[in-house]
Amino acid sequence: KILILDFGSQVTQLIARRVREAHVFCEVHPCDVSDDWVRAYAKDGNLKGVILSGSHASVYEDSTDKAPQAVFELGLPVLGICYGMQTMAQQLGGKVEAGKTREFGAAQIRAHGHTALFDGIQDSTNAEGHGLLDVWMSHGDKVTEMPPGFKLMASNVACPIAGMADEARHFYAVQFHPEVTHTVQGQAILNRFVLDICATRPDWIMGDYIAEAVEKIRAQVGKEEVILGLSGGVDSSVAAALIHRAIGDQLTCVFVDHGLLRLNEGDMVMDMFVGKLHAKVMRVDASDQFLGHLAGVSDPEAKRKIIGREFVEVFKAAARTLVAQGATNSGANGSAVVKGATFLAQGTIYPDVIESGGAGNKKAVTIKSHHNVGGLPEQLGLKLLEPLRELFKDEVRELGVALGLPYNMVYRHPFPGPGLGVRILGEVKKEYADLLRRADAIFIEELHNFKDEASGKTWYQLTSQAFTVFLPVKSVGVMGDGRTYDYVVALRAVQTSDFMTADWAELPYALLKKVSGRIINEVRGINRVTYDVSSKPPATIEWE
């Protein structure tokens, strides 16, 4: 495995993802772990190399963080990235100085001589035949003197020491960010470090991981009972399938139907988990309760709060009956007895852990607090079981497929916790939800049907998130000989890699035409379809 020491950069996660994409296991730990911790971590011989990350811009200039010196004494390869390069230089006897200007953005650097890290990797060559790399820079300080034993590996005018290497000790450092996609050869460079220089085996493959994960879950759970909140989303579905593989009927899933799910979603979840996997699922139909509390409420945040609060209430009540001795549930065979659950399982994934600071880093800026039902385990007196804690989303999907979950479930677009509650503008009514569900199902079906010739992919695959929004306004139309006065829906489809920014998707007109025609003809009550051409920012992806 590879150890990534995090100096607080927002893109540290990306380093981990790239290493995992090379099928090598890695973990992110804070940069201020002790020398003893590092030595203990390396003791079993599985550690093959260390990567020192960049630092967050705001703490950057005056950062005094250092890597534990033991990192340089393990006899293992070390790669320093950006701040990681600077601290490596400083700690090994070189010099770092504050730059007069920040260098930020795309840059080209020249590779010097042959180093194991860059050999054969280049985007172009200059007049003298030296390799050039198109990279992404983001730094203020820079290394002005290399430590003894190092040679120059890369440079450009703005940054004369943009890369350095001590090949005898297998220490490499780059000022640019190989982990971001703007660095064209970034993945190749990280692969070179991890696979060749660190000599790891690319054996981190989800199909093989199942056996190990199953053993871990069995060891943790023993003979006890586990409950899990199943939402139909990717993470909770994969967690359920994995835990079920490990402990079978010791797992009971609770599926709360808040009445704001997509068309037939509840039945699909039951078919899959009860019908195919034979898991125990307690389905709680709480739609009346949710819709009742939402009546008369039109403020988006108020709606979110109500849905969140009710969800916790309903889930708690269901969980309590399962925790109580001898409670029965309406599971696969209807008569299974839950002896008293002691574990609550959640589909927390690695980015949640890193972002919530769970990986121990105080410095990374918290961008979002994750949506899992916080505080519930304590309230219910349950221990936590989080079998996806070390996986990235792509890996969770790969694992889901390996566990036999259908491709369509595992590669589904994200769906917000409050569901259609934030896709019906203003007050939520059952009538609106029913119309929206049918219109949305048509849109999604056609996105699956239409293929882009050039890429061979469907438009569902080519968009990151697509859905229909219900507008509670009426417009006039004509149908046959009659005048109609019905509701309007908006179609929304976006392309994004991180959901922080997003472009509206340039869907083919033929697709829009088909969807519009079908919705207006098949969903009585809707007579107008519009397409949302707003990007984020300034619009958000959801309308509320």
Positions marked active-site:
82, 177, 179
Pairing status of strand 383-385 against strand 465-479: unpaired
Q: Which helix (H) or strand (E) covers residue 305, if one does?
A: helix 300-323
- Helix, strand, coil percentages in the chain from 3-state DSSP, rounded to 5: 35, 25, 40
Give whichever of 224 and 542 is closer to ligand XMP, judged by the CB atom.
542
Rounded CA gap, 29 and 357, in Å? 10
Contact 151, 113 (CB under 8 A): yes
User: What count of residues does the chain have?
Assistant: 544
Give whichever of 398 and 544 is closer to ligand XMP, judged by the CB atom.
544
Give whichever of 172 and 470 is closer to ligand XMP, judged by the CB atom.
470
374 touching ligand XMP, by CB under 6 A: no
Question: What angle separates helix 430-449 from helix 509-522, to the nearest 10 degrees?
Answer: 140
Q: Number of helices and strands (H, E) in the chain?
A: 17, 21
411 touching ligand XMP, by CB under 6 A: no
Give whichever of 79 and 436 is closer to ligand XMP, judged by the CB atom.
436
Token pair belonging to 487: 């509701």
Pairing status of strand 95-97 against strand 78-81: unpaired
Q: Is 232 annotated as a binding residue?
A: yes
Give whichever of 66 and 304 is closer to ligand XMP, judged by the CB atom.
304
416 touching ligand XMP, by CB under 6 A: yes
Pairing status of strand 103-111 against strand 151-155: antiparallel
Shortest distance in whole angstroms from residue 503 CB to ligand XMP: 12
Given 95, 499, 503, 534, the residue binding ligand XMP (CB under 6 A): 499
304 touching ligand XMP, by CB under 6 A: yes
Closest by alpha carbon to 180, among 120, 106, 117, 112? 106
77 touching ligand XMP, by CB under 6 A: no
Rounded CA gap, 168 and 509, in Å? 60
503 touching ligand XMP, by CB under 6 A: no
Shortest distance in whole angstroms from residue 437 CB to ligand XMP: 17
410 touching ligand XMP, by CB under 6 A: no
Given 113, 292, 414, 517, the residue binding ligand XMP (CB under 6 A): 414
Determine the distance from the C-alpha atom of residue 203 to the mean position of all C-alpha atoms in its chain, rounded to a whole number: 22
Q: Is 534 annotated as a binding residue?
A: no
350 contact partners, CB below 8 Å, separation of at least 6: 16, 388, 389, 390, 391, 392
Task: For residue 103, give the 3-state DSSP assignment.
Answer: strand
Q: Is 236 annotated as a binding residue?
A: yes
Closest by alpha carbon to 257, among 300, 304, 301, 310? 310
351 touching ligand XMP, by CB under 6 A: no
Shortest distance in whole angstroms from residue 15 CB to ligand XMP: 24
Shortest distance in whole angstroms from residue 500 CB to ligand XMP: 8
418 touching ligand XMP, by CB under 6 A: yes
541 touching ligand XMP, by CB under 6 A: yes
Of 61-69, 104-112, 409-417, 426-434, the segment contacting ligand XMP by CB under 6 A is 409-417
271 contact partners, CB below 8 Å, separation of at least 6: none
229 touching ligand XMP, by CB under 6 A: no
316 contact partners, CB below 8 Å, separation of at least 6: 376, 379, 380
Q: Where are the alpha helices (DSSP H) in 157-299?
A: 186-191, 206-221, 234-247, 265-270, 287-294
Token pair belonging to 281: 């699922």
Q: Is 234 annotated as a binding residue?
A: yes
> What x-and-dash track marks residues 422-461 binding ligand XMP by CB under 6 A?
----------------------------------------
Give whichever of 8 and 416 is closer to ligand XMP, judged by the CB atom.
416
Given 357, 417, 472, 525, the residue binding ligand XMP (CB under 6 A): 417
Shortest distance in whole angstroms from residue 350 CB to ligand XMP: 18
Contact 503, 494 (CB under 8 A): yes
Rounded CA gap, 32 and 361, in Å? 9
Which residues between 518 and 537 bind ligand XMP (CB under 6 A)?
Answer: 536
540 touching ligand XMP, by CB under 6 A: yes
> What x-and-dash track marks residues 14-53 binding ligand XMP by CB under 6 A?
----------------------------------------
Numbered residues of the known binding site: 231-237
What is the binding site for ligand XMP (CB under 6 A)? 304, 371, 414, 416-418, 465, 499, 536, 540-542
